[in-house]
Amino acid sequence: MISFYIISIIAGWGAGVVTGIIGASAAVVIVPVFIAFLNMPAFEAIGISLATDVVASLVAANTYRKNGNIDLKSGIQMAISAIFGAIIGSWLSSFVPSAGLGGFTGIAILLIGFSFIKKPLNERIKNFQEKYNSSSSNNSVKTYIISIFWGLLIGIIAGFVGAGGGVMILLILAFVLRYRIHVAIGTSVLIMAFTALSGAITHALYAPIPWDLLIFCVVGAAIGSKMAALFANMASEEKLGKIAGFAFIFLGMLTVIDGFIS
């Protein structure tokens, strides 16, 4: 049983690191590790990952807040719609297997990662914003509707596969709502805390959560998230953009593996 606790705290730490650096969900680390090494049912692993996401996201969000890198004003509508979406997705996941979706998601994340290595995220955001800057002021209603739509969709996917949706939220905040990369990550982890909470509660209603493993996971995640968030806030936009590319590749590989394991 001690080995289970060691695996839990290491998996939690790894999950916290990816959350703190690029706002990614704990699910990409915890779910495949728990299924492969602890022989845990997928639904229980998803519940633990969502609950861990809550703590890791709040710890990271607090660090980003202290550095002035959170702006929830423009993203509040996305946050609310994502919470409702997570409830729907968590309910659906109790009926539908998610292996196929996980595999496709992993491939997509891999491609994004390679793309960001070739051209860093901060440069892509800058070019995108310059290209569409002239029409941005006339599309506030359109942007509002788009953010609600994506928030709902992200929430459904997040609850369904056991992820907080941080990476997807990050991309929408950066490209649709035009956030700087540090602010996009900080705001995405804060939104993810609420989507993960709603998903975790819904999961707990359908299956018991092993609290002993969850506690060790949460401790590891809190430490990893704090360390990573401190580093990310000290890094330049360019450096953080490069790191995001490598992190996306790593996350994509884990998600593809998770798809095959599940």
Residues 227-246 have pLDDT tens digits of 999 998 988 777 776 777 77
- For 71-103, b/e burial (b = at least 16 CB within 10 A) is beebbeebbbbbbbbbbbbbbebeeeebeebbb
| CA 233 – CA 217 distance, rounded (Å) | 24
| CA 235 – CA 230 distance, rounded (Å) | 9
Are the beta carbons of 189 and 57 closer than 8 angstroms? yes
Degrees (nearest 5) of the Cα angle 259, 59, 30? 20
pLDDT band at 6 (very low <50, low <70, confident <90, very high): very high
- Percent of the chain at pLDDT above 70? 74
User: What is the pLDDT, as a whole number, of residue 133?
Assistant: 57
Neighbours of 118 (CB within 10 A): 9
- Nearest of 135, 197, 195 to residue 166 by alpha carbon: 195
Average pLDDT in the 57-80 region? 86
| CA 175 – CA 129 distance, rounded (Å) | 7
Are the beta carbons of 147 and 78 closer than 8 angstroms? yes
pLDDT at 125 over 80: no
Q: Residue 55 in 3-state DSSP? A: helix
- Nearest of 190, 159, 155, 164 to residue 63 by alpha carbon: 190
User: Residue 89: CB partners within 8 Å, gap ≥ 6?
Assistant: 155, 156, 157, 158, 159, 160, 161, 199
pLDDT at 19 over 80: yes
Residues 204-213 have pLDDT tens digits of 887 778 889 9
User: What is the pLDDT, as a whole number, of residue 105?
Assistant: 54
What's the mean pLDDT when you consider all of the chain? Answer: 78
User: What is the pLDDT, as a whole number, of residue 214?
Assistant: 92
| CA 260 – CA 262 distance, rounded (Å) | 6
Residues 211-227 have pLDDT tens digits of 899 999 999 999 999 99
pLDDT band at 56 (very low <50, low <70, confident <90, very high): very high
User: What is the pLDDT, as a whole number, of residue 251?
Assistant: 67
Q: How many domains is the chain partitioned into structurally?
A: 1
Which is more confidently placed, 65 or 100?
65
pLDDT band at 203 (very low <50, low <70, confident <90, very high): confident
User: What is the pLDDT, as a whole number, of residue 91?
Assistant: 78
Domain hosting 71: range is 2-261
Are the beta carbons of 148 and 142 closer than 8 angstroms? no
| CA 220 – CA 207 distance, rounded (Å) | 23
Q: pTM (2 decimals)?
A: 0.76
- Nearest of 247, 214, 236, 225 to residue 15 by alpha carbon: 225
pLDDT at 136 over 90: no
Average pLDDT in the 106-112 region? 62
User: What is the pLDDT, as a whole number, of residue 157?
Assistant: 76
Average pLDDT in the 115-138 region? 60
- Percent of the chain at pLDDT above 90? 17
Tokens of 135: 């029409």
| CA 82 – CA 156 distance, rounded (Å) | 7
User: What is the pLDDT, as a whole number, of residue 49?
Assistant: 86
| CA 164 – CA 112 distance, rounded (Å) | 18
